[in-house]
A = this chain, B = another copy of it.
Amino acid sequence: MDTKSLARSFIYTDWTLIETQFEPDKLHSRETIFTIGNGYLGTRGSFEEGYVRALPATFIYGVYNDVPVVYTELVNCPDWLPLVVIVNGDRFRLDRGEILRYERQLDLRYGILSRSIRWRSPSGHTIDIQFERFASLADEHVLEQRCQLTPLDFDGLIEVQASINGYPENQGFNHWENIDQGKTEHGIWLHSRTRNSLIDLAMGAKMTISGTEASLQVNTAPGYPTLSSTFLAVAQQTITVEKLITVFTSRDIDTPVTGALEKLAHLPDYTLLLNDHKQAWERVWQQSDIVIEGDTTAAFAVRYNLFQLLIAAPWHDDRVSIPAKTLSGFGYRGHIFWDTEIFLLPFFIFTQPKVARNLLSYRCHTLNGARRKASHSGYKGAMYPWESAVTGDEVTPRWSLPNDFYAEDVRIWCRDREIHISADITYAIWYYWQATSDDEWMRDCGAEIILDTAIFWSSRVEYNSQSARYEIRGVIGADEYHEFVHNNTFTNRIVQWHLEKALIVYDWLRQTFPERAQDLEQKLQITSEVRSCWQDIIAKMWIPYDPSTGLIEQFDGFFQLEDINLKDYEPRQKSMQTILGIEGANRRQVLKQPDVLMLLYLMRASAEFPYNQKTLQANWDYYAPRTDITYGSSLGPAIHAILAADLGKLDEAYKRFMQAAMVDLEDSRGNTKEGIHGASAGGVWLAVVFGFGGIQLTENGPVANPHLPSNWTRLKFKLHWRGQWHEFDLHQGLGTGDKGTRGQGGQEDKGNLSQTLSASLRFPFFASSSQSESEANHNPDIRGVIFDLDGVLTDTAEYHYLAWQKLADEEGIPFNRLANEALRGVSRRASLMLIVKDRQYSEAQIQEMMERKNRYYVELLKNITQNDLLPGAIALLDELRQAGIKTAIGSASKNARTVLQRLGIADKVDAIADGYSVQKPKPAPDLFLYAANQLGLEPAQSVVIEDAAAGIEAALAAGMWAVGLGPVERVGAAHVVLPSLAGIKWADIQAKLNDAAKQKNG
């Protein structure tokens, strides 16, 4: 199962990365690639004996210190690696003597880095040297090293020096001040303190030598305590040196020196420590591993990326979060971005939820920093920083300063303008809550974040009274090539979504934890005015979306920018921004990373607006070719992989997936030396699970709808959902469908639910169940479904609007889209009354206008085709007919039949109740009762699917089951609330109605 790439001198096995030769020009990227860690610290894969220009580093979570320009950075800690071997007077170093054999291995299963060298010294002595190191996952304060020495062709003196290097550096800067050092009967110790943040760190070390007679000396060069030993080595006999290190900081305990020395004194031996460590890793992989068969490179690369996430996981610390470059390099100074919440977090939510909770708690601990940022920026509430460190204050540098004496400084605008981070955090919290049902954490931490950032938004949006809409001006969206834009759709929609969820969370909190709700109301001053303001923003947020095409403009004026054909620039090895310059990219239709597509990705899990297949297809076609997916942001490829899989573009999906998976192993962007691409690693998990695995989240847990790459014979992983584990073992070729791949359904692990493909149900709004109120019975016996037409099966709202607009224009009455919003679900006459307001018209005039408007509307309806069916409609109608469930239309429209014919579904329903059927309009129950009667059913056997509040009211008044489509604010009274019919199966609806019935009776 070995794949050898000679060009890269790497061998990938199931679990092991093997480097077969030492290439000095790759020194720094390989130091990154061979990083080990245990979630307390990360240590780059630098050599024990050192190397000129090497960049050894050990980063410990939470240990930051001040620096100019970037404010604060993750500190390189005293180096525990130095282990110098002197062979008959020649110091072992790879740039001297001769390397006869070389192999470096990273064992992903157990997080062990080892290296074997056969070295001939300048004096001609040949020796085998074998190094091994790991950071204990069983005890995060313990680090271990072993060195085995076997002289091959000589007997001689070998000296070993095992040190702690108190002079570590961040690109030359040493954040530490040496406080004290010393020796004990067990070994040496060093006590250092960061210069400004005043964090104390203590390291202890001891060394044992077996296989020869050796005594230890202690040298105490200031800041460089060393244990050394000189001994006689005999040809062909192996001597083993073991160095055990303990480390504590004042973040862990009050007296780190005592802590380190006490632990050092009581450490068991190397083998026992290694055993504990291995067991800990086995437990971790049991939850988080992904098995891929048929594609060794992908199989290894996926594990490699998961390994990076796991060694960067703060297992026991909720005051920290994962930096953009994890704990593996100096890039981005250990700052935390949206990468964590949007790209890394899902892996933890679904495989290591406690880590996910720790990561989100970090945002809770830094909430006051976000408040300071809001206040300093002139806003209310909490505004999270684009780059975050210890306090949550903004630490994005303002400047990229050139080295050139005369070059201009480049202003970095993210701190000022890339504001979507506050909504991204809410998004992450929402899904953590959905997946874990961790109400306690939501009560104590999550709710406050969501609400106080919502308050920020209400102070940040601007009301444009001319257009009667809310706008967000002067931002950077997800795509960072455009540095100052207005109404970035990604930002506007995620803010709108955030406020929708803030209202839900607020209501939930009031119902579930009224005391906490009261506390927060007072603390954050959440008045009814504030909530009304949120609602108003939700209703009037400007989203530039063209319903006829589904195309979304990235921001105001994007389509007017100079267009670009990226193929004209191929082949290239640089980002488009580097090629075009900052201004050049700014004024062209070129994206650094998905933006509209990123929004669609985020709305995909719940199929909320504007996500549907049509929109996805339209925007993919437009934006994907304009996205710098190769050298733009490393955040892009995994997202493209998922969306491409959705669209059935499996080749494209696989290509993007591999691009993400190999970014560091192949150093394809040339910056792996700066650290692992953390977001890309998280994206790899997303692409496998949601893209190829096709996982959809339902009320009953995740279900798979796989699209495996053609060479994958098997894909196996586990997901944790609301306290239960779900195991998926997907195989190629079973139940072949149109796409050529059809996965085996997921198998449940501990619970007992049966999962089938057809049982997939779109992930619903968690809060909806707590808001459904009706008189329903246990185990409802549903025999028929009555569909409202407009807004459920199709959306003719646009045509109504256009017809009313034409009428109003002819009459000289002011009217616009905003005014039209008020007409949703309102009868024709009532609509006209709302339009004419207090203008005086005779009844004849009114009739004439109603007829005229209708004429226009009917005329417009001629344009309706099957394409105007809303996603999921036809599939559900078909499924119902196959399942023997009756269907009817219950629409107030007098044009219902025309519309149904144009839509091509007139023959798919069993009955039609329309504007001619009854006198009393919704919310009277008459129309639905008429429909049920037509179907020959009792009200309790009928379910109404409606998108208007009046329709839900009518259904409930009729004693029927009600399914509401759309926001809770509108259809929250229904038994079940769904975002739309997209992807909805009859079984999903049944299951939800069963739940609702149980809750009512329970």
Contacts and interface: CB of A to CB of B under 8 A. Distances in A.
Interface stretch (A9-17, A172-180, A539-547, A834-842): A172-180
A237 to B, nearest CB: 26
Contacts of A226: 219, 221
B221 A161 contact: yes
A631 B352 CA distance: 60
Nearest to A408: B398
A372 B404 CA distance: 12
A84 interface: yes
A399 B372 CA distance: 24
B84 A222 contact: yes
B167 A223 contact: yes
B403 A71 contact: yes
B169 A174 contact: yes
Contacts of A167: 167, 174, 223
Contacts of A177: 52-53
Contact of A221 (B172, B221, B373, B401): B221
A68 B68 contact: yes
A35 interface: no
A121 B52 CA distance: 41
A818 interface: no
Interface in A76-96: 82, 84
Count of identical protomers in the assembly: 2
Given A174-B173, A174-B174, A401-B68, A406 B161 contact: no
A63 to B, nearest CB: 15
Contacts of A173: 172-174
Contact of A405 (B163, B179, B394): B394
A69 B71 contact: no
Nearest to A226: B221
A161 B401 CA distance: 42
A790 to B, nearest CB: 50
Nearest to A411: B409
Contacts of A395: 405
Interface string A872-903: 00000000000000000000000000000000
A297 B304 CA distance: 72
Contacts of A66: 403
Nearest to A181: B91
Interface string A403-418: 1011001000000000
Contacts of A179: 52
Contact of A376 (B172, B393, B406): B406
Interface in A952-993: none
A222 B47 CA distance: 13
A574 interface: no
A50 interface: yes
Given A175-B172, A409-B398, A68 B69 contact: yes
Contacts of A398: 401, 409
A224 interface: yes
Interface in A169-222: 169, 172-175, 177, 179, 195, 219-222
A165 B406 contact: no
Contact of A224 (B52, B174, B222, B409): B222
Contact of A195 (B69, B172, B405, B409): B172
A734 B376 CA distance: 69
Contacts of A376: 405-406
A50 B177 CA distance: 12
Nearest to A176: B172
Contact of A71 (B52, B394, B405): B405
Contacts of A50: 222
Nearest to A82: B222
A530 B405 CA distance: 29
A407 B931 CA distance: 67
A19 B175 CA distance: 32
Contacts of A53: 177
A921 to B, nearest CB: 57
24 contacts: A50-B222, A66-B403, A68-B68, A68-B401, A68-B403, A69-B69, A71-B403, A71-B405, A82-B222, A161-B221, A163-B221, A167-B167, A167-B174, A172-B173, A172-B174, A219-B219, A221-B221, A221-B224, A221-B226, A223-B224, A376-B406, A395-B405, A398-B409, A399-B399
Q: Sorted from nearest, which 5 A-B pairs have the closest CB atoms?
A: A221-B224, A167-B167, A376-B406, A393-B405, A221-B221
Given A66-B403, A219-B219, A219-B226, 5 more contacts: A68-B69, A167-B174, A173-B173, A219-B228, A394-B406
